[in-house]
Copies of this chain bind each other. A is one copy, B any other.
């Protein structure tokens, strides 16, 4: 192990995240401190409709004080598998239903200071007859774009969410779909 834990102190315990302050011993014998955000883990899904358009959501993000465009994503509930979580979030956030779900990989959103791992899926979706219900504190709009429009948005800096950009990379390379 490269950084041996000397001690851990929990500095904040929230409903979503917690903070641990860890003192470590480095390989060179020195000590260092690490401030680490603990997160329960999340899933994200790049959803494609039968007409080839991809489903994006636009929502207000309080940390940024603005609305941004992202793929579907959500935090895993206790004991929930990533695939079940992905299907639930797709329905809740977009009103579409996943008829095919393929895992593209796992990513870490901010490995320098946070343990959040996001399982990334590709989903083929169709409109659902059963409407999902977003969390009471979410206000989400759905937008659909074809691949050409997405690549124009990428090139012009319109997509700023790291997991959305990462998912696009994984989708293009995992499917040999460049």
Contact = CB atoms under 8 A, between A and B. Distances in A.
Given A2-B67, A37-B37, A139-B26, A111 B12 contact: no
A30 B137 contact: yes
Contacts of A116: 110
B35 A113 contact: no
A84 interface: no
A142 interface: no
A42 to B, nearest CB: 8
Interface in A22-45: 22, 24, 26-28, 30, 32-37, 39, 42
A108 B169 contact: no
Interface stretch (A47-55, A94-102, A122-130, A151-159): A151-159
A162 B162 contact: yes
A35 B160 CA distance: 21
A106 B157 contact: yes
Interface of A: 1-3, 11-12, 14-17, 19, 21-22, 24, 26-28, 30, 32-37, 39, 42, 60-65, 67-68, 70, 73, 75, 105-116, 118, 136-137, 139, 151, 154-155, 157, 160-163, 165-166, 168-170, 173-174, 176, 178
